[in-house]
Chains A and B, each alone.
Chain A
Amino acid sequence: EAQVTQNPRYLITVTGKKLTVTCSQNMNHEYMSWYRQDPGLGLRQIYYSMNVEVTDKGDVPEGYKVSRKEKRNFPLILESPSPNQTSLYFCASSLEGPAHDQYFGPGTRLLVL
């Protein structure tokens, strides 16, 4: 079954404690991205990757890091989380880029105290 998986689905942490949210896709897609969804703001892209070792900033990259060492995985790293990073996060992938159909993961709800 074609899918994008994220872990964990729910996470409560404290300010400054580094965390990683994993994302994996089994469709051999080249393009992967991370979004955050906040009430009244819709989805905003954090980072994207066009292929292995190729990443670039989205609209709201501050406070986040990513890596793309393997085609299937695209982890999101918060080195020093802050309360304003409390949000719902989605990973997505598509065949070649955002003009192609994007497949979304189920979401990770993060609360930073």
Chain B
Amino acid sequence: GDSVTQMEGPVTLSEEAFLTINCTYTATGYPSLFWYVQYPGEGLQLLLKATKADDKGSNKGFEATYRKETTSFHLEKGSVQVSDSAVYFCALSDLGGGSYIPTFGRGTSLIVHP
């Protein structure tokens, strides 16, 4: 079946540091890829997405590129802020593989210090 693997956290950075959170996937079809963010005490919010190879999703300074050759969708941000402290989830939806059940990674906690 489909799977999503994220780097384990927590990731601890100082403000203005560069962020990378790795995400790799396996899928039988041609999935859409997502990054969701969960702030403390809240539900998940869509951060960005990409639906085909080489697409770049971007939002709030975060970016991720759909790399089919390496089956990856790594999240990056050039300069993190304290307010970016949250848990980040990589996810895929593989309708082409015949499933209406999305697959989520286990989440990566990001802690940004002033």
Binding site for B on A (CB under 8 A): 4, 31, 40-45, 48, 50, 56, 58-59, 90, 92, 97-99, 101-107
Query: Which 8 pairs of residues, A with B, have the shortest CB-CB distance?
Result: A104-B43, A42-B106, A98-B102, A98-B93, A43-B104, A99-B93, A104-B44, A99-B32
Q: How far is the CA of A106 from the CA of B41 in the complex (A)?
A: 8
Partner of B89, one of A43, A50, A92: A43
Measured CB to CB, the nearest residue on chain B to A57 is B101
In the complex, B49 has a CB within 8 A of chain A? yes
Measured CB to CB, the nearest residue on chain B to A43 is B104
Q: How far is the CA of A4 from the CA of B36 in the complex (A)?
A: 16
What total of chain B residues lie within 8 Å of the partner, measured CB to CB?
A: 20
- Which residues of chain B are within 8 angstroms of A43 by Cβ–Cβ distance? 44, 89, 91, 104
A98-B45 in contact (CB<8A): no
Within 57-114 of B, Cβ neighbours of A (below 8 Å) are at 89, 91, 93, 95, 100-102, 104-107
- Which residues of chain B are within 8 angstroms of A56 by Cβ–Cβ distance? 100
Most buried by A among B95, B100, B105: B100
In the complex, B46 has a CB within 8 A of chain A? yes
Most buried by A among B36, B44, B89: B44
A97-B93, A99-B93, A99-B95 known; A45+B46 contact, CB < 8 A: no
Q: How far is the CA of A48 from the CA of B100 in the complex (A)?
A: 8
- Which residues of chain B are within 8 angstroms of A31 by Cβ–Cβ distance? 100
